[in-house]
Amino acid sequence: MKLTEIKELLDAEVITGANRLEDDFQEVCSADLMSDVLAFATPGTILVTGLTNVQSVITAHVAEVGAIIYIRGKHPEEDAIKLAKQKNLPLLASPLSMFEACGRLYAKGLKSGSNTPK
Amino acid sequence: MEDEVLFFQEFSIMGKDFSNAGTVSTQIKAILKEIGFDPVIVRRAAIAAYEAEMNVVMYADRGVVRLRVTPHKINIELEDEGQGIEDIELAMQEGYSTATPEMREMGFGAGMGLPNIKRNSDEFEITSERGKGTRLNIVINAR
């Protein structure tokens, strides 16, 4: 699903990465704990999170997450935005809850971007 | 020459310096990518380095990271000065954590750090002395 469609689906605002709205995503991972992202996220996944500090962007960069969607109307902090611009990482902000955001993405056929142990 | 060192760099990390946390591992990631390692290998090394760096920032006073690259191996060695780990076996268990609420607010302290470093390493050694510090040796095979 293209990022531009995801933006519409989640009523989201694009904070950085407007040049990457045509990028296609197949997987979604949701977490507020960055160690869980580092442990379980698959490369290229979208990350849905409520953690807005710079660590969210560093974690995404290190784990090769393809885009971050901040939920619950939260906006990333300034240093997070600055780093995301440097790394050309798309950041979006949605007013939806984590459940609602993930539910809409799941209903559209996106798959789990999380290799959790069974 | 199997053990020829292609690249060596030493980095320092300050404990409690949350605003710079992650800068060493992002540099390491960029260096390994530049050298031309497989992206899967680069990602594993970057994840291990980042978790280890966060541990130094969260728990130690200061630390040193040595990145040594040979044609066949990436070696990341970390030595910190600080409180050390009382029970390494316990600290290696997933979910065990001594994190403070401040660390959890940063998105860390889920008790996944050390197990996650081990999972991304081909060789992993940890030694620690209570009240002095901790040493990690991480090796990731290039192929």
A-B contacts (CB, under 8 Å): 67
> A68 and A49 in contact (C-beta within 8 Å)?
yes
Report ipTM (2 d.p.).
0.91
Q: Is the CB of A33 less than 8 angstroms away from the CB of B108?
A: yes
Nearest alpha-carbon partner for A23 in A31, A14, A32: A14
Q: How far does B142 lie from chain A, in Å, by closest CA?
A: 18
Q: How far does B119 lie from chain A, in Å, by closest CA?
A: 8
Q: What is the DSSP letter of B83?
A: S
Residue A118 is predicted with a pLDDT of 56
Average confidence score pLDDT of chain B: 94
CB nearest A35 (choices: B26, B43, B110): B110
Residue B106 is predicted with a pLDDT of 86
Q: Does B110 touch chain A (CB under 8 A)?
A: yes
Residue A13 is predicted with a pLDDT of 98
Confidence of residue B111 (pLDDT cuts 50, 70, 90): confident
Provide mean pLDDT across the span B49-78: 96
Domains of chain B and any CATH numbers: 7-141 (3.30.565.10)
Q: How far does B15 lie from chain A, in Å, by closest CA?
A: 16
Average the pLDDT over each of A16-25, A105-114, B92-101 and give the range with the smallest value.
B92-101
Q: Is the CB of B47 less than 8 angstroms away from the CB of A62?
A: yes
The amino acid that residue A102 corresponds to is C
- Between CA B37 and CA B60 the distance in angstroms is 31
Which tokens sit at A72?
């619950």
CB nearest A35 (choices: B21, B43, B116): B116
Q: What is the DSSP letter of A18?
A: G
Residue B1 is predicted with a pLDDT of 52
CB nearest A38 (choices: B26, B104, B116): B116
Residue pLDDT, tens place only, B12-39: 999 999 889 999 999 999 999 999 999 9
Which residue reads 């980042």 in tokens? B50
Confidence of residue A64 (pLDDT cuts 50, 70, 90): very high
Q: Tell me which chain A residue has its CA closest to the CA of residue B30.
A: A62
Q: Is the CB of B51 less than 8 angstroms away from the CB of A38?
A: yes
Q: Is the pLDDT of residue B143 over 80?
A: no
Percentage, residues of chain B above pLDDT 70? 99
Residue B30 is predicted with a pLDDT of 97
Q: Is the CB of A56 less than 8 angstroms away from the CB of B107?
A: yes
What is the third-level CATH fold of A3-112? 3.40.1390
Confidence of residue B81 (pLDDT cuts 50, 70, 90): very high
Provide mean pLDDT across the span A48-75: 97
Confidence of residue A16 (pLDDT cuts 50, 70, 90): very high
- Between CA A48 and CA B94 the distance in angstroms is 23
- Domain range annotation of chain A: 3-112
